[in-house]
Copies of this chain bind each other. A is one copy, B any other.
Amino acid sequence: METNTFPMGESVYQERLPNGLQVVLLPKPGFAQTFVTFSTHYGSIDRVFRTSASKDYTTVPDGIAHFLEHKMFESEAGDVFPEFSRYGASANAFTTFDLTSYLFSCTDNLHENLDLLLNFVQDPYFTDANVEKEKGIIGQEIQMYNDNPDARVFYELLKALYHEHPVRIEIAGTVESISHITKETLYECYDTFYHPGNMVLMAVGGFDPETVMGWIKDNQGKKTFKPIPVIDRKAFSEPPTVYAPEVTVNLAVSQPKCLIAWKDAVNEMSGPELLRRELALGVALDALFGRSSSAYQELIDEGLIDQGFSWEFERAETYGFAVIGGNTPDPRRLTDRVQQVIDEALQNGIGEAEFERCRKKALGRFLTTLDSPGYIARGYISYLFRGAQLLDTSTVLGEITVDEANREFRAYFDPSRRAVSIVRS
């Protein structure tokens, strides 16, 4: 077991087991809860891949990673959720563009819950009947997302930003695409991406790391696995420009919703570089559009935004985008005003005092999240799969300067990479 201690005092215990499973333990003494995630580096964008066992690429139906996530909760004995609740835990799972994660939190019976989690995720049970039945359930979920204005405005934005990259496809797929899913395709994806060699178990909370590592080794030692597959995901060819500069969808909403976004022209990025770009541009956007910015105050005063107005910068291994927006009575005017603020910053730069204030705020906010086992467990894994270290955040935030952020900002906000998504009645 390897131990790493970070400047904020957190210690991380890591070990790669013989079957390839990476175990990460982050004890938080004094905490009542423990939060555990069991995650595979496999999400909705992993749709064309091959392993050492096959020469040709396989293309799987859109939405299959999410479909697999749903089906994992069914064992031969029935639904797994009640078993967690018998041990006082609440379990859940989620699928993103680039990972699938199964998780629980508990304040008691950690050993039992840990075994449950490892066992159900490592015991797939797909039948023709249960796969068919799930299509109805997920079909309803897809319909729900389609009807949800906040989900819709975001998905339509990604469709506008990207030509080819599968981040433009809804995570859950479509009713048509999931109709092609069979138990065979599910097993194929499972065998490729759910091998322990592609997975990470992470626990954060009030436990003793030696004891918990022992439990995990006991559990894994009793099982046999095939050799670790080498996964080759087919590369994406995505041009730097956007697919459509503006898209509008009509849905019954009491107020229009409007998101303004810029895609990242750099297609491949990982590790420290990715974290640094996310943090530098994040602080820059907060300085320009955060609650304490003059733009935010003006837009509120003009009645153009409400308190739901926000910004985000997300950077993954093969895609990245900055988004700004929320509810507005006038999407066109909001877009113009946001662009004005960007233009002004492109011309004159972001001010040092503003930047410093937001940099310190980001640092404080990061330290605060370290008090939350659930946040750490989810955030750590997300960065780990992107080759980065969540716990470097405070160090990087301590290093970035307003000059670096301005350089990043100027290179990033190009009009040819902007798209606007609007949902209105």
A188, CB-defined interface residue at 8 Å: no
Contact of A252 among B89, B105, B252, B372 (CB under 8 A): B252
- Within the complex, what minimum Cβ distance (angstroms) separates A160 from chain B? 22
Contact of A371 among B32, B88, B89 (CB under 8 A): B32
With contacts A8-B32, A368-B105, A372-B372 known, is A357 near B85, CB below 8 A? yes
Say whether A252 contacts B425, CB under 8 Å. yes
Say whether A367 contacts B254, CB under 8 Å. no
A33, CB-defined interface residue at 8 Å: yes
Tell me, in angstroms, the Cα distance from A59 to B147 when the chains sit together: 47
A33, closest chain B residue (CB): B368
- Within the complex, what minimum Cβ distance (angstroms) separates A303 from chain B? 7
Say whether A89 contacts B32, CB under 8 Å. no
Tell me, in angstroms, the Cα distance from A105 to B369 when the chains sit together: 12
Tell me, in angstroms, the Cα distance from A82 to B292 when the chains sit together: 7
A149, CB-defined interface residue at 8 Å: yes
One of A209-217, A310-318, A358-366 at the interface: A358-366
- Within the complex, what minimum Cβ distance (angstroms) separates A111 from chain B? 15
Most buried by B among A32, A149, A254, A306: A32
Say whether A85 contacts B361, CB under 8 Å. yes
Say whether A32 contacts B107, CB under 8 Å. no
Contact of A144 among B90, B306, B357 (CB under 8 A): B306
Tell me, in angstroms, the Cα distance from A8 to B108 when the chains sit together: 13
A140, closest chain B residue (CB): B303
A148, closest chain B residue (CB): B254
Name A377-405 residues within 8 Å CB distance of B.
none
One of A23-31, A42-50, A69-77, A239-247 at the interface: A23-31
Q: Which residues of B contact A29 (CB under 8 A)?
A: 29-30
A223, CB-defined interface residue at 8 Å: no
Count of A residues near B, CB < 8 Å? 44
Tell me, in angstroms, the Cα distance from A32 to B303 when the chains sit together: 37
A106, CB-defined interface residue at 8 Å: yes
Tell me, in angstroms, the Cα distance from A144 to B367 when the chains sit together: 33
Say whether B303 contacts A31, CB under 8 Å. no
A231, CB-defined interface residue at 8 Å: no
A370, CB-defined interface residue at 8 Å: yes
A254, closest chain B residue (CB): B252
A251, CB-defined interface residue at 8 Å: yes
Say whether B32 contacts A88, CB under 8 Å. no
Most buried by B among A105, A108, A367: A367
A353, closest chain B residue (CB): B86
A81, CB-defined interface residue at 8 Å: yes
A303, closest chain B residue (CB): B140
Q: Which residues of B contact A86 (CB under 8 A)?
A: 357
With contacts A254-B252, A292-B81, A360-B88 known, is A371 near B147, CB below 8 A? no
Tell me, in angstroms, the Cα distance from A251 to B252 when the chains sit together: 11
Say whether A361 contacts B88, CB under 8 Å. yes
Sample of 16 A–B contacts (CB below 8 Å):
A8-B32, A9-B30, A29-B29, A30-B31, A31-B371, A81-B292, A82-B292, A90-B364, A107-B364, A140-B303, A144-B306, A252-B254, A252-B425, A371-B371, A371-B372, A371-B373
Please give 18 more A-B residue pairs, beta carbons under 8 A apart, in addition to A33-B368, A107-B367, A149-B254. A28-B30, A32-B367, A32-B370, A81-B292, A85-B361, A86-B357, A88-B360, A88-B363, A88-B364, A105-B368, A106-B364, A107-B368, A144-B306, A147-B254, A147-B255, A252-B252, A371-B373, A372-B372
